[in-house]
Amino acid sequence: MQTRDEYVEWLKQKIDEWNAQINEFDQKAEGASRDAKDKYDAALDEMKKRRDEAEKKMREVAETERDAWDQRRAQFETAWEDIANGFQQAWSRFS
């Protein structure tokens, strides 16, 4: 079982990966036609929204008292899965 601090570190790594994917996607969008660029931009907006949600959730986890971590862990993991699924759906539209 991960400690709260280990979970926060894992979240940071995932967010860093997403930032790299966003940057890669942004570069693809720059060279796209106008129609495609609009679609890329919509997907980018969605990915950034999900990344921002993940950062917010990471801060919530980091601020959770260690004693409460075990009780709230399942709640955080469920929220993370929803955020991650939304990010992956936006990424998969054009990758």
* DSSP, residue by residue, 39-94: HHHHHHHHHHHHHHHHHHHHHHHHHS-HHHHHHHHHHHHHHHHHHHHHHHHHHHTT
The reported pTM is: 0.83
The residue type of 43 is A
pLDDT at 10: 93
pLDDT at 95: 61
Q: Which domain holds residue 58?
A: 4-92
pLDDT > 90? residue 59: yes
Number of folded domains that form the chain: 1
CA distance 22 to 54: 14
Instruction: Judge whether 24 and 44 are in contact, CB under 8 Å.
Output: no
pLDDT > 70? residue 6: yes
Element (H, E) at 93: none
